Amino acid sequence: MRFYTRQQLHYCGIDLRPRSLYVCILDQEGKTLVHRKLSCDRERLLKTLAPYREDLAVAVECLFCWYWVADLCSEQGFTFVLGHALYMKAIHGGKTKNDRIDSYKIATLLRGGNLPYAYVYPREMRATRDLLRRRLFFARKRGELLAHIQNTNTQYNLPPLDERAGKTKDRGAIIEHFDDDTVGQQAWQRVAWIGHPLPLRFFIRITKDGR
């Protein structure tokens, strides 16, 4: 676990949501300078942070919508700290939680050198990483579908399939392998989903291009 320990004049904690955020800014002594709710608008957030730009660290918990805040901080020269969601939960967990309280806790952890941080993935590589993550999701889902066909076959103690479900070109034979119409319908659903191939060439091309 790594913590952000650099000393700064101002510390900003942001509790971020898809359409809104709660921002809290503290000075070195811990005095609250700003504590308010904003919409997720770049200009409004920049206007709020601008008076403290001289020496400002901005911390956001690692949720799915942090990209635009990181990019804004990079453009404006603010220090951006991405809080590690799991470790932060272990440190500042409490019975009372809301956006206002969480933003203050993030700013407090940042000021006290107790904010566990995560790696900020480079902007130019995020799209490639997200694309590969999506491919992994589909690959795992395909594996689940294939495993379900095999498990169903074993469940009814039927003879082994003539070919592996993921390799056969005659997927209709998989459906006909099951005598019960309802079981065959389940197999048909999984075969139909498996029948949509992953665009492997697209993934390979993107990876080779380095985008």
| Under 8 Å between Cβ of 103 and 15 | yes
Whether the per-residue pLDDT at 24 is higher than 80: the answer is yes
Contact 11, 110 (CB under 8 A): yes
> For 143-193, how does the pLDDT look when each residue is reduced to its tens digit (9 = 90+)?
888 888 888 888 888 888 777 776 666 667 777 888 887 887 788 778 777
> 175 with 187: CB under 8 angstroms?
yes
- Amino acid 182: pLDDT: 84
Check whether 95 has a pLDDT greater than 70. no
Q: What confidence score (pLDDT) does residue 185 get?
A: 79
What are the structure tokens assigned to 44, written together?
Answer: 């409004």
For tokens 């070195």, the residue is: 28
- Nearest CA among 51, 56, 89, 93 for reference residue 73: 56
Contact predicate 65/17, CB 8 Å: yes
- At residue 93 the predicted structure's pLDDT band, cuts being 50, 70 and 90, is low
pLDDT in tens, 29-76: 999 999 999 999 999 999 999 999 989 999 999 888 999 999 999 999
More confident residue, 152 or 13: 13
Q: Name the one residue in this structure whose structure tokens are 């989903």.
A: 193
Give residue 175's pLDDT.
Answer: 76
Q: Note the pLDDT tens digit of each residue in 75-89.
A: 999 999 999 988 888
Per-residue pLDDT band at 211 (split at 50, 70, 90): very low
pLDDT at residue 196 in the model: 63
